[in-house]
Amino acid sequence: MEIAVTVNGQTYERDVEPRKLLIHFLRDDLDLTGSHIGCDTGNCGACSVIVDGVLLKSCMLLAVQANGTRIETVEGLSEDGELTRLQQAFNEHHALQCGYCTPGMLMSTTALLRENPSPSEDEIKKALQGNICRCTGYWNIVEAVKSVAK
């Protein structure tokens, strides 16, 4: 099935199998490997992307369902090759260890900060509920987000 999507500002047209998940389309067809495959069940959040302004888990969406949408992946966060303030904060606050969950955490918190530039600690924690991290204990991630919140 022919689809057209705009990913990180670039439009792609591809023929995809109707059953292909968006995460596999992004990684395998477009070579955008920043989003990770963690569970294929929507539980871990490692594959989180922003589709038409809405945070979604790309392992829960078929690529054909994304036809005509604007998708943002972790690769699209940097500005002119420079890390965003949020990405810098993750580094400064040691909010990553193995890094597997980091793309999903960054996308989740980017979506949060766009919607609510001044979230409380509880709101940050709630925004992160759809993401699993086995390394950091979440504290440093919350601190990183708090540091860039207005």
Domains, the chain, ranges and CATH? Answer: 2-75 (3.10.20.30), 85-148 (1.10.150.120)
Q: Is 81 left (phi over 0), alpha (psi -120 to 50) or beta?
A: left
Read off the pLDDT band of 62 (50, 70, 90).
Answer: very high
**Predicted confidence (pLDDT) at residue 37 exceeds the cutoff of 90:** yes
Beta strand ranges found along 16-122 (DSSP E): 48-51, 54-57, 70-72
Contacts 24+ apart (CB under 8 A), 64-68: 64/1, 64/3, 64/16, 64/18, 64/20, 65/22, 66/3, 66/5, 66/22, 66/25, 67/3, 67/4, 67/5, 68/3, 68/4, 68/5
How many angstroms separate the CA atoms of 18 and 63, rounded? 7
The whole-model pTM stands at 0.95
How many angstroms separate the CA atoms of 141 and 4, rounded? 34
Over the stretch 97-109, which tens digit does the pLDDT of each residue have? Answer: 899 999 999 999 9
Dihedral over alpha carbons 1, 34, 46, 51 (to 10 degrees): -50
